Amino acid sequence: MTEFDQMCPYFHKAMTILGKKWTGQILRSFIEGSRRFTDISTYVHGISDRLLSQRLQELEGEDIILRQVYSSRPVIVEYSLTDKGQALRQVVEAVQRWADRWIDDPVVATNRA
């Protein structure tokens, strides 16, 4: 018996969070710091505003990102990683390393969704 011989409920829960369309790309956008909604939308490129809002709400609900509202005019809303979210940097970097080594042809249809 090893750690990987059977499913781990913690891993399973993590993948239900991380294994959603666009979530990896959204998380990558935060690695260097806080972002506004339009920054993330531009960065991720191809996601609809509606789905991006939904994903941000899900990540906020999981304590992975923090939504901060500044009462300026116009109001500024910024999203950033919590400590739990910052810890995902190792996952993003692991995916990046794998992609750099193994993805030959990065061209992929980016259907809006």
What does the binding site for a second copy look like in residue numbers (CB under 8 A)? Answer: 2-16, 18-25, 28-29, 31-32, 43-45, 84, 87-88, 90-103, 105-108, 110
| CB of 69 or CB of 102, closer to a second copy | 102
| CB of 74 or CB of 106, closer to a second copy | 106
What distances in angstroms separate CA 22 from CA 11, 45, 49, 72, one per listed residue? 19, 10, 12, 30
Listed residue (23, 38, 15, 31) closest to 113, CA to CA: 23
| CB of 68 or CB of 96, closer to a second copy | 96
